[in-house]
Amino acid sequence: FGPRLIMAVTGSIFCLGLLLMSQMSAIWQLYLFYGVIVGIGLSSIDVIPLTTTARWFVKRRGMMTGIVKVGTGTGQLIIPLMTSIFIATYGWRISYIIVGALVFLLIISSSQLLRRDPGQRGLLPDGDAKTTVSDLHLPEVGVSLGEAALTRQFWMICVISLLIGCCAMTVVVHIVPHATDLGISSIAAAGILSTIGGVSMVGRLVTGIAIDRIGNKNLMIIFFLVLIASLLWVQVSKELWMLYVFAAVYAFAHGGFFTVISPMVAELFGISSHGVLFGRVTSAEPLEVRLVRSLRGMYLI
């Protein structure tokens, strides 16, 4: 269907979920409006932009992926501040309406700029001009989901994504409650999350540049080790400064990891089925965020 249509549809569903949240009055509505409808709307936020980037760039795929991923970190810094101002001024119900309207305008308008691949604009990847008639019909190289599922590399990258997603996403969701459980003020605890957002932006940009120089696999190993070390550090962190050190170290690897995944999928399996492969690799991460707190009864991993 192409990125424009899918992004417009899922963006509209996301907006609908936010607008319905403004009318919430029962717990089942929270699960339906936010858990289901907003969740469906958010499903394409990473897959569409990163898959489109993978199709448009080859020589500088890493750098461009890093630039795209900086947008996520920027939102992590700006959106909480913006919504807190709206809530303090208008209340949470009106704030959902305002944010929903902004989401609709921004996502729908920006989605119309997307093109599935450079061939639709008479170009080759990286902006190179087509020079022959045969260039107009260059086949996309890659394997299907079924073919990829028969390879060891596919399942290894799924397992890596599962493990690192557990570390990365759990921290984003639970680091503030964990800090307040230690007796740290809510304002100082929120600063930890802001630090993660800011440093992860740097990590994403630096990682994007590094991918094109030293490769995806080497960076994946480095970030895997750094994330493990940072999660061990937070187990013994009882003071605010220790949590800020954790946030800075963790955030760089956090941002870097989520920049590496898409180019690695493109490198290993090509771009013909990049969207479905990338979506499958990252699909298990949100489940682990819920399970860690539910099964352990605490925020420590």
Q: Is residue 151 part of a domain?
A: yes
Task: Return the closest-CA partner of residue 109 out of 119, 117, 97, 101.
Answer: 101
Q: How many CB atoms lie within 10 A of CB 291?
A: 12
Residue 296's pLDDT is 47
pLDDT tens digits in sequence order for the chain, 301 residues long: 678 888 889 889 999 999 999 999 999 999 999 989 998 988 877 788 888 888 888 878 888 888 888 887 787 677 777 887 888 889 999 999 999 999 889 888 888 888 777 776 676 776 665 555 454 445 567 788 888 889 998 998 888 888 877 777 778 778 888 888 888 888 888 888 888 888 888 888 898 888 888 888 888 888 888 988 998 998 888 889 999 999 999 989 888 888 888 888 888 888 878 888 888 887 755 555 555 545 445 544 4
Q: Is residue 276 part of a domain?
A: yes
Q: Is residue 28 part of a domain?
A: yes
- Nearest-angstrom CA–CA distance, 230 and 172: 13
Q: Is residue 221 part of a domain?
A: yes
- Nearest-angstrom CA–CA distance, 218 and 2: 32
| Residue 111 lies in domain | 3-116+142-296
* pTM beyond 0.85: no
- Contact between 83 and 190 under an 8 Å Cβ cutoff? The reply is no
- Nearest-angstrom CA–CA distance, 139 and 259: 26
User: What is the biggest distance separating any 2 CA atoms in the chain, rounded to whole angstroms?
Assistant: 68
The β-bridge partners of 100 are none
Q: Is residue 133 part of a domain?
A: no
Q: Is residue 128 part of a domain?
A: no
Q: How many CB atoms lie within 10 A of CB 159?
A: 12
Q: Is residue 209 part of a domain?
A: yes
- Interior angle at CA 163, CA 232 and CA 300, nearest 5: 40
- Nearest-angstrom CA–CA distance, 176 and 244: 12
Residue 55's pLDDT is 83
Provide the CATH number for the domain around residue 38. Answer: 1.20.1250.20
Which residue in the block uniquely carries the two structure tokens 């932006």?
Answer: 201
Concatenating the DSSP letter of every residue in 183-204 gives: T--HHHHHHHHHHHHHHHHHHH
Q: Is residue 259 part of a domain?
A: yes
- Contact between 48 and 114 under an 8 Å Cβ cutoff? The reply is yes
Phi, psi of 270 (to 5 degrees): 80, -175
- Nearest-angstrom CA–CA distance, 131 and 251: 44
Please tell me the total count of domains within the chain. Answer: 1
Residue 238 CA, chain-centre distance (Å), reads 29
If you count them, how many residues does the chain have? 301
